[in-house]
Amino acid sequence: MGMVWHGVSSKRELEIIIQGIGGYSKPKLNLEQYVTDAGMVADIVWLAYLRGDVNGKRIIDPVCGTGRFSAAAALLGSTQVLCIDIDEDAARDAYRYLGELNLLGLVDIVVMDFTMPALARAMDTVFQNPPFGIWGPRGIDTKILLNSLSLSKVTYSVHKAGTENHIINVAKVCGCNVEVMLGFKLTIPFTYRHHRKPRRTVEVYVVRIQTPQPRLP
């Protein structure tokens, strides 16, 4: 598709830029705060770009963490990005990292609990890697997903392997079209005291869900 926003011309170049966005200054286990792999972010957002879901679109990153999905979307030509997190410390981290990339003119940092979103209108595309509900409230990933489906035309969402049937059923009950797209091994670096290894991997997958008629929750 040629040269794109901010001079990013390849998925590899995008990955290198995203890799420069660091981790959480104050990670919180109950929020399951782990940094999403730069390679995974680049793969997902680049594929969405090729499918017409990024360039010129309004984006929501509802559990933004340090802002990796938000940055990737902004770098590939989104006209507006809402970088949302429930945690003020994470929002400050995202503000700093996105500022270093000169992206704050395109990205709005919002502190908000996306299980109860307060948005006045729907957007075009969501990118999200929600908590799996292992250390936090059970079912939180489904709740965040349902809100994303109500607020966007297309949602790209990361989920733990083994939940495919559940997520597909959630989407179909809402009248959405769902496509299981990619499988990844999510690498989680040593972050919390219960970690015993420098890094561990978790099998995850990505779904692309189209909402026929977004509606505010």
Q: What angle do CA 56, 61, 63 make, to 5 degrees?
A: 175
What pLDDT sits at residue 5? 52
Most confident of 130-139, 195-204, 206-215: 206-215
Lowest mean pLDDT among 48-62, 82-96, 174-188: 174-188
Q: What is the mean pLDDT of residues 11-20?
A: 96
Q: Is the pLDDT of residue 66 over 70?
A: yes
What pLDDT sits at residue 4? 47
Domains, the chain, ranges and CATH? 5-210 (3.40.50.150)
What pLDDT sits at residue 141? 84
SS3 126: strand
What pLDDT sits at residue 117? 82
Residue 129: which of 206, 199, 190 has the closest Cα?
Answer: 206
- Residue bearing the bigger pLDDT, 114 or 29: 114
Cross-strand pairs, 58: 80
What pLDDT sits at residue 6? 62
Q: Is the pLDDT of residue 81 over 90?
A: yes
135-188 pLDDT tens trace:
455 778 899 999 999 999 999 999 988 889 999 999 999 899 999 987 877 776
Q: How far is CA 102 from CA 106, 161, 202, 208, in A?
A: 9, 35, 32, 29
Residue 213 DSSP symbol: S
SS3 23: coil
pLDDT, averaged across the chain: 86
Q: Is the pLDDT of residue 1 over 60?
A: no
